[in-house]
Chains A and B, each alone.
Chain A
Amino acid sequence: MSEVILTVQDVTKVYTMGAEKVHALRGINLEVAQGEYLSIMGPSGSGKSTIFNMIGGLDSPSAGEVLFEGAKLAHLSSAQLAWFRCHKIGFIFQSFNLIGSMTTLENVSIARVFAGASLEQAKQEAAEVLTRVGLGHRLTHLPSQVSGGQQQRIAIARALVNKPSIILADEPTGNLDLKTGEEIIDLLAEMKQDLGITVITATHDLKMLSRSDRVILIADGQIRRITKKGEVEIEVGSVDGETVA
């Protein structure tokens, strides 16, 4: 229905640790459509975070290509990659990764400043996004002064403030209790609906899987199965003998 925004072509990643070689990815091929909600799941160590790092331009593949709207990430200079991460990607981490010495408002507005906004303008826009994720009343709090769920909301606001094309969320509910995690998932789904942002998450969370347009199962650095929406509920109970969730 919509166009391909991201292409992963034969991507492999090998980590060399002394004499030993760790094959984190063994030839991943993937196309992601604009506005899609994609979940990647798989056992610990299967290479989920490694894929995210490649897509976000945080690390480069040992072989293969990652293309964003046709542009090869491997060919970009560090300043171009910074632009790409700033304008096109919104990162959400399991451990929130907020800056401890910055207030809620500053944590979000700094991303706007990187995109070229003035301090005033950045703060105003950050406040708008924060209000939207339900944190309009916590603007001057430090991360240590709000709950885990609220910290993740700040991180979501920060990821959204530059209106990215893709949200990359690596186990965004991993450090949250069930109910809070569910709220975060709802929020992400809502953002996807309202703003048409492509969402890619790594997760073990069943609720998150049931929201996805596609679920990719990876194991040992390879894609084992791709499940489309509708088939999801039947499939996720147990995958290859392994309990998910």
Chain B
Amino acid sequence: MGEIPVQKDVPWLVTFKISWGSLRRRLLRSLVTMTGVVLAIAFLAHMLITDSIIYALVEVNERALNILLQKSDVDISNVGTGDSLMVLFLFLTLLITLVGISNSMFMAVTERVREIGTLKCLGAHDNFIIRSFLIESSLQGVLGTLCGIILGMTVALSVALVSYQAYVFKYFPLAAVIKALMISFVIGTVLSVVASIIPAYMAARKQPVEALRHEE
């Protein structure tokens, strides 16, 4: 039959439609896998928001408020000066986020290795597999991140309300909180995508037989 041609790539848009279609149907399940992302980002968002609220309240420097702050163990003289403990804590938060997210993404790919083997039998090009995983993990990452942000924000605001009551509303640092939300969003999404590239790439490069033999 002469030379066997090279398999053509599926266009990005088509890949996106296919990925979105199948992601939609296992949304619940994928959220379970995404708990790592949700919790990590909730933790990060909670940290950042609590921080900006406390910073704003300390700035106010009002007697009654200072007493409340001291009651919840805030070291007034040191807030916002970027002390080393704070930096360490932030670093640890990021580390936890990174581990949580890469773990989740790794699981998300591993549980679908057989599926990858099947797709290869149907003639999927390696690129299709990498792209569709990239698309799906970005969407999952965005979703998990949004859930995490909502969770983290809810907890941070509730705790702040209990500790500082109406002061929170009065001196609410809207700009800083929005910034914190945006930072959490970007970190969550970027880490999700980055953390899924490696397992997706590894899965796509697998020999189809190996992938098919993979147990659930």
Interface residues of A (CB under 8 A from B): 53, 56, 58-59, 68-71, 76-80, 82-87, 89, 91, 93, 97-102, 106, 110-111, 113-116, 118-119, 142, 158, 162
- Which residues between 128 and 146 of chain B lie within 8 Å of chain A, taking CB atoms? 128
Q: Which of B114, B124, B126 contacts A114 (CB 8 A)?
A: B124
* B26: chain A residues within 8 A (beta carbon): 100-101
Q: Tell which of A71, A91, A98, A101 touches B4, judged by Cβ atoms closer than 8 Å.
A: A71
Inter-chain contact A87/B123, CB cutoff 8 Å: yes
State the interface size on chain B (CB cutoff 8 A): 34
Contact of B207 among A58, A100, A119, A158 (CB under 8 A): A58
Closest 3 CB pairs of A and B: A86-B123, A69-B1, A82-B7
- Chain B residues within 8 Å of A, Cβ to Cβ: 1-8, 10, 14, 17-18, 21-23, 25-26, 114-115, 117-126, 128, 207-209, 212
Given A100-B26, A101-B23, A110-B18: A83 and B6 interface contact (C-beta under 8 Å):
yes
Decide: A116 and B121 in contact? CB cutoff 8 A. Answer: no
Q: How many Å lie between the Cα of A97 and that of B118 in the bound state?
A: 7
Q: Are A106 and B21 in contact (CB under 8 A)?
A: yes
For B123, the closest partner residue in chain A by CB is A86
In the complex the two chains form, is B6's CB within 8 Å of A102's CB? no
Partner of A77 from the list B6, B14, B18, B25 (CB cut-off 8 Å) is B6
Query: Are A111 and B4 in contact (CB-based, < 8 A)?
Result: no
Which of B4, B18, B114, B207: most chain A CB closer than 10 A? B4
When distances are taken between beta carbons in the complex, the residues of chain B under 8 Å from A80 are: 4-7
The contact of B125 among A58, A70, A79, A158, by CB within 8 Å, is A79
Query: A144–B207 Cα gap in the complex (Å)?
Result: 27
Give the shortest distance, in Å, between A143 (CB) and chain B (any CB). Answer: 11
Q: In the complex, are the beta carbons of A76 and B10 less than 8 A apart?
A: no
* Nearest CB of B to A167, in Å: 12
Q: Are B7 and A79 in contact (CB under 8 A)?
A: yes
A82 contact set on B, CB distance < 8 A: 7, 120, 123-126
- Are A114 and B7 in contact, with the CB atoms below 8 A? yes
Chain A residues with CB under 8 Å of B126's CB are 78-79, 82
> CA of A70 to CA of B3 in the docked complex: distance in angstroms?
10
Given A79-B7, A83-B4, A106 contacting B22 (CB threshold 8 A): yes
